[in-house]
């Protein structure tokens, strides 16, 4: 969208003096460039930039967050559309290139931006074929179902910590996946869609959220719990198991309980 705005502003700035130079012969002589006004060269450049991006606000299936950053605001995506949005987050990885195929045979490819991948897709089931980070591949093959006018959340792909993170190929292979958003800002996007009753999550996310709810209910029955006492089990979307304290369970549940009904 930045290119769209630059192209629009630049076109308007140079269009006015170009028109004026054709209407005023004296002004034209002062700023002439060969047989044409000096302003016509930058005008053509900015007009070309504008033409390459002008279709984006009207683009439907195949439009990505990298092309239109306002895409993830529920009020900017009609609930009556026949298409929906697929989204996942990256945590610790640079922007990637994602290839997707739908059940109807159509294929889409787009890039992420600022650790966010989102793409408008037709209401249908599909699969992520590949997620390329540079020359390396992140785990893919996730399936999903797009519902009309809604956002389908796949989760967050997390980069490993330690020495492995400095070796791109190993870091990609060791990447974990969770339902948790990288930051409060990312979680707020999900909340906005949930508050609009337009958020859907995958079955595996629902399963992990149910596990979190069960852990929360277990901690609520305890009296005088202390930090580090009675560790509970948490499992990521990839099946990585870790222990959580009751305090961590309570905090995480309260942050993500809005997703339980989705």
**Contact (CB, 8 A) for 235 and 211:** yes
Query: What pLDDT, on a 0 to 100 scale, did the predictor assign at position 15?
Result: 62
Query: What pLDDT, on a 0 to 100 scale, did the predictor assign at position 129?
Result: 96
d(CA 155, CA 173): 17
Percent of the chain with pLDDT over 90: 49
When the candidates are 2.60.40.10, 3.30.70.1350, 1.10.645.10, 2.40.160.40, the CATH number that belongs to 60-201 is: 2.60.40.10
C-beta neighbour count of 218 within 10 angstroms:
13
31-44 pLDDT, tens digit per residue, is 555 455 566 667 67
Query: What pLDDT, on a 0 to 100 scale, did the predictor assign at position 64?
Result: 93
d(CA 27, CA 17): 9
> For residue 148, what pLDDT band results from cuts at 50, 70 and 90?
very high
Query: What pLDDT, on a 0 to 100 scale, did the predictor assign at position 42?
Result: 72
List the domain boundaries for the chain: 2-54, 60-201, 205-259
> For residue 22, what pLDDT band results from cuts at 50, 70 and 90?
low
* Helix, strand, coil percentages, rounded to 5, for the chain: 40, 25, 35
Query: Could you tell me which residue, 258 or 45, shows the higher pLDDT?
Result: 258
Instruction: Name which of 137, 148, 158, 147 is nearest 88 in CA terms.
Output: 158
**Displacement of CA 159 from its chain's centroid (Å):** 17
**Contact (CB, 8 A) for 231 and 166:** no
Instruction: Name which of 140, 135, 136 is nearest 117 in CA terms.
Output: 140
Q: Give the lowest-confidence range in 48-52, 214-218, 256-260.
A: 48-52
Pairing of strands 125-133, 143-145: antiparallel
- Is pLDDT at 118 greater than 90 in this prediction? yes
């Amino acid at each position: 969208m930045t290119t769209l705005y630059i192209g629009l502003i630049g076109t308007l700035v140079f269009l006015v003096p170009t028109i004026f130079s054709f209407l005023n012969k004296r002004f034209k002589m002062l700023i002439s460039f060969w047989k044409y006004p000096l302003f016509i060269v930058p005008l053509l450049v900015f007009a070309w930039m504008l033409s390459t991006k002008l279709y984006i606000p009207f683009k439907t299936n195949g439009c990505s967050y990298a092309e239109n950053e306002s895409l993830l605001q529920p009020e900017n995506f009609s609930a009556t559309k026949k298409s929906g949005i697929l989204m996942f987050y990256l945590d610790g990885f640079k922007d990637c290139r994602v290839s997707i195929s739908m059940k109807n045979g159509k294929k889409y490819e787009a890039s992420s931006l600022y650790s966010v991948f989102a793409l408008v897709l037709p209401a249908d089931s599909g699969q992520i074929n590949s997620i390329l980070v540079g020359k390396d591949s992140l785990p893919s093959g996730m399936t999903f179902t797009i519902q009309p006018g809604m956002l389908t959340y796949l989760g967050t792909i997390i980069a490993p910590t330690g020495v492995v993170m400095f070796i791109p190929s190993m870091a990609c292979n060791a990447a974990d996946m969770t339902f948790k958003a990288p930051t409060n800002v990312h979680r707020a996007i999900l909340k906005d869609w949930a508050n609009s009753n337009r958020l859907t999550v995958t079955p595996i996310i629902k399963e992990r959220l149910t596990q979190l709810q069960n852990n929360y209910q277990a901690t609520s029955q305890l009296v005088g719990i202390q930090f580090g006492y009675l560790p509970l089990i948490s499992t990521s979307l990839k099946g990585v198991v870790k222990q959580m304290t009751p305090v961590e369970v309570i905090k995480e549940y309260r942050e993500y309980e809005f997703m339980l009904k989705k």
